[in-house]
Amino acid sequence: MVNYLILFLILGAAKEVVVFDLEPVGIASHVARTATRLLRSELREIETYEVIDNDQVVTDVKTADSIGKTLNCDLAVIGSISRLRRKILTEVKLIRVGRARIIFEDDLTGDTEDDLDIVVKRLALALSRKEKAEKLVTTETVTGIEAEERRRRASYYTLGIKIGSGFPLFGTYNNESSLIRGSLLGWYETPHLIGEISAGILFPMGNLTKGFEEDAGVFEIPIDLAILYLPGLGDITPYLGGGLGVHFISTPNEAAAGLGLNGGLGMVFFRTYDFHFFLDLRYNVLFAEIGGKSPQQSIDITFGFTRKTIPGRARHGCCGEGFSIF
């Protein structure tokens, strides 16, 4: 029993890792020392390893292995921090002491010294998990460069739905007081423009309780194309736009089809993510006569979301990146 307990303690003990000072390349030495202190602190906080400090700057694997053996460590970390024009690149390598072999290495670029705490936090987590830092990004640990790259991202497709209420104007839509609108939609997104295609249904609020009986009221199928303009590139961005389409509308007594026009504005949330949430206010006009009135008019308030079909990954289509049917 005692032997099993000793074996358990040995296997469960955290491995000791010596973290050498990062080598400064084209950057002030105090910046490298600060980054090193942050790296050690983050590794201690994660608690995967027992961290041993060593103030030497070690650049080669054999030297790190030799010193690591002297300190009876299991692992060693060496690395560098370099200035590349306006960017700062931090590189780290995890070495298996006793074998003089690199078992993991990674790098991450920051925009300025202000990004160092984020860069080091990500690299410490990468060393602990042996996963690439680029896969460990969160909303709290995105670097300035990554945020800018997302804002500059290439065009791509997203798919989604929207649902909400419509409020007929001037007694149109067979004198209904309120409508329910639901649509499937696709967005072709560029940094400042969105091409939208949608198809859905529109029916009176009372149909939900009447079970869509034949005499329950007006029913519409809209198929629309629209262009939305977004002035900003942030996570929360307003937009305005409009479009047109073909709408099919019917009541228990008559049916018609006609040109539909729409215009409005809205707000997109989580713009730089793989999914977007949005609120939309739109004025709709349908040039078709129902109940002796034409055109049909309504103000619609909807909300919905769109998302890449393969989050975090892009597939190339004929016009951009994201979901593609080509």
pLDDT band at residue 149 under the 50/70/90 scheme: low
Has residue 274 got a pLDDT over 70? yes
Predicted local confidence at residue 325, as pLDDT: 30
pTM for the whole thing?
Answer: 0.53
Count of helix runs (H) and strand runs (E) in the chain? 7, 15
Q: 6-15, 56-65, 262-271, 296-305: which has the minimum mean pLDDT? A: 6-15
| Residue partners of 166: CB distance under 8 A and separation at least 6 | 173, 178, 179, 180, 181, 202, 284, 298, 299, 300, 301
Digit-coded pLDDT (tens) for 193-243: 999 999 999 999 766 655 555 455 799 999 999 999 999 877 889 999 999
Predicted local confidence at residue 291, as pLDDT: 86
Predicted local confidence at residue 7, as pLDDT: 41
User: φ and ψ at 7, to 5 degrees?
Assistant: -60, -40
Predicted local confidence at residue 207, as pLDDT: 60
Q: Kindly report the three-state secondary structure assignment for every residue of 30-95.
A: HHHHHHHHHHHHHHHHHCCEEEEEEEEECCCHHHHHHHHHHCCCCEEEEEEEEEECCEEEEEEEEE
Per-residue pLDDT, averaged over 115-126, amounts to 89
Say if CB 257 and CB 289 are below 8 A apart. no
Predicted local confidence at residue 8, as pLDDT: 39
Enclosing H/E stretch for 229: strand 219-229
Using CB atoms within 10 Å of the CB of residue 14, give its burial: 0 to 12 exposed, 13 to 18 middle, 19+ buried.
exposed
Predicted local confidence at residue 10, as pLDDT: 44
Per-residue pLDDT, averaged over 170-192, amounts to 91
Per-residue pLDDT, averaged over 245-254, amounts to 94
Write the CATH number of the domain with boundaries 13-151. Answer: 3.40.50.10070
Structure tokens at 118: 């984020």
- Average pLDDT of the chain is 84
Q: 63-67, 68-72, 156-160, 318-322: which has the minimum mean pLDDT? A: 318-322
Cis peptide before 252 (omega within 30 of 0): no
User: How far from the centroid of its chain's Cα atoms is residue 108's Cα?
Assistant: 19
In 3-state terms, what secondary structure has residue 233? coil
Predicted local confidence at residue 140, as pLDDT: 65
Has residue 288 got a pLDDT over 90? yes
Has residue 318 got a pLDDT over 80? no
Using CB atoms within 10 Å of the CB of residue 11, give its burial: 0 to 12 exposed, 13 to 18 middle, 19+ buried.
exposed
Domain 156-322 fold is Porin (2.40.160)
Ranges of each domain in the chain: 13-151, 156-322
